[in-house]
A and B are shown apart, each in its own frame.
Chain A
Amino acid sequence: GDSVTQMEGPVTLSEEAFLTINCTYTATGYPSLFWYVQYPGEGLQLLLKATKADDKGSNKGFEATYRKETTSFHLEKGSVQVSDSAVYFCALSDGSYIPTFGRGTSLIVHP
C-alpha cells in the first residue's frame, strides 16, 4: 500500500536558519503530494501541493519539488521565523479520496 515517511523531529532551529524537512513516499501510481501545517491546538492547513513530477509547490516562503525519480517531496524554507514553529505533515493522494499522511515533524524555531 501507499506510505509516506518523514524525518523524525523535533527539528530545532534558530531564526533565519535554513529549513529542510525530508519526505519520501511509496505509491503504485502517480500521486498528488501535499504539505500540511498544524499550529498548536488547531487542525491542519494546506501549506502547498504538487500534482505531477517536477512541479514545485510554494507558499509563505516554503517550497517543495515533486521528484519522481527519488520519490521525494522535501520541504524547504530559506529563512525560518519563530511563527513557523508548528508540526508539518507530508501527505499523498493516489486517486482515491483517502489521503495517506506521514507521522508529522515538529519544528521549533528559537529567536
Chain B
Amino acid sequence: GAVVSQHPSWVICKSGTSVKIECRSLDFQATTMFWYRQFPKQSLMLMATSNEGSKATYEQGVEKDKFLINHASLTLSTLTVTSAHPEDSSFYICSAPQTGGSDQPQHFGDGTRLSIL
C-alpha cells in the first residue's frame, strides 16, 4: 500500500540550529501534504498545508518565517525549523492524502522527535 516516509526520526541539537525534516510519498504522488505538531497530551495541531509548486498555507498562529515549508516535487515536502529554540521541541508528523478523493484516508509518516537543548 501507499507509504509515507519521514526523516529523520529523532533530532537533538543546540538552540539556534536550523533543522530540516523530510516527508516523502514513496509510491504515489502527493500534490498536497500536511504538517502537524503533536503536543504531550496527544492532540494533533495542523501547522500548514504544503502544496506542490506553490506556497504553503499556514494555520493561524503558526509563524511562516519560523517553519519554512517547501514542496518542490510531487513526492517530497520539507519542513525547516529555523533557529530552533527549546520551545520548538515537539513531535512533528507529516501526512499525505491517498489519491482518489476526500473519502480516502491520510497516510502518515512515522514522525520526527525534535529536542532542542
Contacts and interface: CB of A to CB of B under 8 A. Distances in A.
Interface in A34-64: 34, 36, 38, 41-46, 49, 51
Contacts of A96: 102
A25 interface: no
Contacts of A38: 42
B42 A43 contact: no
A51 B108 contact: no
B95 to A, nearest CB: 7
Interface in B25-73: 32, 34, 41-44, 46, 49
Contacts of B109: 43
Contacts of B44: 89, 101, 104
A51 B110 CA distance: 25
Contact-size category for B: 20 to 34
Contact of A49 (B41, B97, B105, B108): B105
A42 B105 contact: no
Contact of B6 (A36, A43, A93): A43
Contacts of B95: 43-44
Interface residues of A, number: 26
Contact of A87 (B42, B93, B102): B42
Contacts of A103: 41-43
B42 A44 contact: no
A49 B102 CA distance: 12
A45 B46 CA distance: 17
A41 B6 CA distance: 13
A104 B42 CA distance: 6
Interface string B94-105: 010100001111
Q: 6 closest pairs, A vs B, by CB? A: A43-B108, A104-B42, A32-B103, A46-B105, A44-B108, A43-B110
Interface of B: 4, 6, 32, 34, 41-44, 46, 49, 93, 95, 97, 102-111, 113
Given A43-B6, A93-B102, 15 more contacts: A34-B106, A43-B109, A43-B110, A44-B93, A44-B95, A46-B105, A46-B107, A49-B105, A94-B102, A97-B32, A98-B49, A99-B34, A103-B42, A104-B42, A104-B43
